[in-house]
Structure 1
């Protein structure tokens, strides 16, 4: 008991960190509850209403999770986003487990540093708040890495050691049921085994292979769905979304933009902490083993993504598993000096600005910049009123949109599931809706300014603009929709 009291003893520095963590959590709750769903979040919210083995864009676990929280917490913002808050709590607990093994004599300080570094990274702050499936990917990959670390740290295959291996495989299997990028954790672990002679004796025993088989068998829902749908999801990620193979051509500006985005939005100070990696050598065996494993996980992730971003435009957050290792090792790499405080300061400013940006006014509007990504989260009460009034006035047989994410947002805010996605862009809606059933009917089309209405006009005998919806905040126009009425709809042939 005395030892536990010593481990949990708060110093003035610890109290400052706790206060800062509380501030970040309060901002997180404000962002979670006071801002509208992003279009991707609304898209996944629709998935939560329609559970199936997998989906066109992702495996199914994240959508199942949303479905459960929706049933428990209702159809509002809490039901839509509560899964991210639960994942954040689980991630925090795992950071405590890491801290307890990395710094067994002073785990509290190590945990507080890792927690504040997680919250102060702009991307990780967002990913543990909004319902992109990365919140669950982070939680499950951390659980897998923690147990892989326990397995590698043990000198031989003892009972507890083997248990950790199978738990790691189980969590990895769940992570891969969330996003395909979980594969990098498995590849990183395999490379750590293959390139470390001290681990080669384990290759002679069956457990590594049985654990890998467990993770693979758990992918049955994704594999079955793809087999039933001509491998549509695999084809989309490897080929279709890139307008061809991602390895086909080279574009330097893609690489430069990707590098700058990751450096800034994960935090430049988090990236700079990597230059302090030499400090790992003075840590205990578990920390050194963990750092070795994270080197392969992060290196595999970066090697693949950097090769891809040289040829196609990619999202910066696809690198989150590489930066995740720096969060785990933050108690060593960040320490308590200027690097930590610079990181916290940047993160606090970013968290406040993001919350203002999405709950009050898109800040870009103050500088005359049209921020479509933020603007489309505002004004949906106005959009729903206008669409429903026009539906009654024109006696429309159906309502459609010119962009698949607009369908999702209209579904969420109108609390209905009978909106159609009419654009030729492939999406999950293509597997649910039968546009041929609408042939000959008259419909309203909500046109999003990010879409191309010209691709839809030929599908109606006549189509006319009936209303324009200008979304404003404090006198600033921030987004625009157009509402069309079309007669005698005829879906295009695939």
Structure 2
């Protein structure tokens, strides 16, 4: 690699983006869907205006992608891989404008080395990929029209051109809104940036920003209308995750878990210098519009989703702070460029960068190969799988349960039009549904069916038989599923096999004549649907 300069930084950034795009295509095509991805699968084959726990855009994009690539892992994930390539380029453009082109290159490098970005956001069938792309695209257009940045050039805007830019910003913000609710922090961050900087306050009197907001609200209509028709279920559910409606109690352990999880997801040696840029941006915000812009947009998602863990159990959703960290990669890239230009700090920075590169490459290679082949079962130390906090191998969650499909074909269950499928957990519903490629209607017999309650109408299945697949949930099957049938008969189990090794044992039950329970079961959304009501009434959410 020739010496990085302002003139060749864009070319190097594009080369890196192309190489990582090809690698991610392979990962997307040959690794199985995780629990969350499988759960979202039904949404990609059932087009709706919006959905229970997420806005609709990533479902719509994957629906279109599967029409091209088929119902494959690549078909579902291709939009994420493609959009992340665009996200990397938008980060380069944004950082180049705020600081310089070399900083843009290093920002792209660091983002592609960070664990949560390089695979989870960049490869998986999740709403984060379109959010990140349209977030950065809108952020870039905003700094253009506001003339923020050390490398903004001599662009001049007339009144008509300015309005066109704000229309474009509104469209991008609208697409970000259709991606994930996190976009609220982008709105708030831009507003605080304008208020905090005297040179930008004239935008409060300019029609442009208000035009952008109006366009965004119009584009958000599918979300609003779906929620209006469904008792605002999505907003209630997401609000409940922030701790609303719960007894207030401080949990320092949840807070520390959140900080540790963020560090782990970004990789600790990347998280520390990235998090440091939040304080650097805070200090420089008064003298530099670039740092001020980064600070106000980055600080809100990071602080909000970290502080609320003091009273709200966000469990392992450490990626919710990701948009904020993504913004901090810009000043981090600038800091790396300055350190590499300093003879006293260049050597240590190169070592840090080389270690990060090799660690990420080796780790992704090993985990991907093990997920596909299970080679660690034969050649790796058994204690290593417990490092993820699970007694079982956590990579098993990322393999497809194709043996379930094989059993259905063997038994001829696909040919029985009066037979549907059920499970006792929402996450297992997704794994089974993906294994069967959506060929059978599926019901979650649980108080927390989530999106599944809105994508399959159980009233159309009255009188049908069912195959219930369970993973060690005998008590749940007995209590929550059995009352809906005349009888339940346990059948031989299904073994989930990877490379000749049995990884999981799935229990199978044949259930006859699906009907409304004789006893009242108000705790189950399924019961409410079968008695002519929505799964969740006004203000109701899935029970804990």
Distance 1:161 1:431, change over 3 A: same
Could you tell me which of 372, 382, 389 is aligned with 2:410? Answer: 389
Q: Does 1:45 align with 2:41?
A: yes
Deviation track 1:365-403 (CA, whole Å, cap 9, x = no partner) reads: 832644475313335221211133345499673322223
Q: Structure 1 281/8 Cα, relative in aligned 2: closer, same or farther at 3 Å? A: farther
Seen in structure 2, the aligned counterparts of structure 1 residues 24 and 363 have a Cα distance that, compared at 3 Å, is: farther
Counterpart among 91, 94, 115 of residue 95 in structure 1: 91
In 2: Cα distance, 1:312 partner to 1:401 partner: 28
**Residue aligned with 1:426, SS:** coil
1:233 paired with 2:234, answer yes
Alignment of 1:71-90 (within 5 A): 71-90=67-86
Residue 122 (structure 1) shift: 0.4
Structure-2 residue corresponding to 1:301 = 301
Cα distance in 2 for partners of 1:350, 1:168 equals: 38
Which residue of structure 2 aligns with residue 191 of structure 1? Answer: 192
Q: Which residue of 2 aligns with 1:478?
A: 503
Q: What RMSD over aligned residues (CA atoms) do the two structures have, in Å? A: 3.4
What's the counterpart of residue 206 of structure 2? 205
**Residue 407 (1) aligns with residue 429 (2):** yes
3-state DSSP of counterpart to 2:398:
coil
Equivalent position of 2:492 in the other structure: 467
After TM superposition, give the deviation of residue 24 of structure 1 in Å. Answer: 4.7
Which sits farther off after the overlay, 20-29 or 451-460?
A: 20-29
CA contact (8 A) 1:176 1:219 kept: yes
DSSP 3-state at the match of 1:322 = helix
Q: Which shifted more, 45-54 or 332-341? A: 332-341
What runs of 5+ residues in structure 2 fail to find an aligned partner? 149-154, 341-348, 518-526, 529-544
Residues 350-369 of structure 1 mapped to structure 2, 5 A cutoff: 350-361=363-374, 366-367=382-383, 369=386
SS of equivalent to 1:458: helix
User: Is the aligned partner of 1:374 residue 2:401?
Assistant: no
User: Could you tell me how far apart the structure 1 residues matched to 2:139 and 2:334 are?
Assistant: 17
1:153 matched to 2:153: no
1:116 to 109, 114, 117: 109
Structure 2 distance, partners of 1:117, 1:197, is: 33
Q: Secondary structure of the equivalent of 1:480?
A: strand
Output one character per residue of 1:444-463: Cα deviation in whole Å (capped at 9) or x when no partner.
Answer: 11113479323223323322
* Matching residue within 117, 133, 136 for 2:130: 136
Q: Deviations over 1:181-212 (max 9, x none)?
A: 11111111111112222222222222222222
- Map of 1:328 onto structure 2: 330
Of residues 350-359 and 241-250 in structure 1, the stretch that sits farther from structure 2 once superposed is: 241-250
Task: Name the CA shift for 1:349/1:6 in 2 (closer, same or farther; >3 Å).
Answer: closer
Count of residue correspondences: 481
Q: Secondary structure at the match of 2:468?
A: strand
TM-score by length of 2: 0.79
TM-score (norm 1): 0.86
Counterpart of 1:458?
483
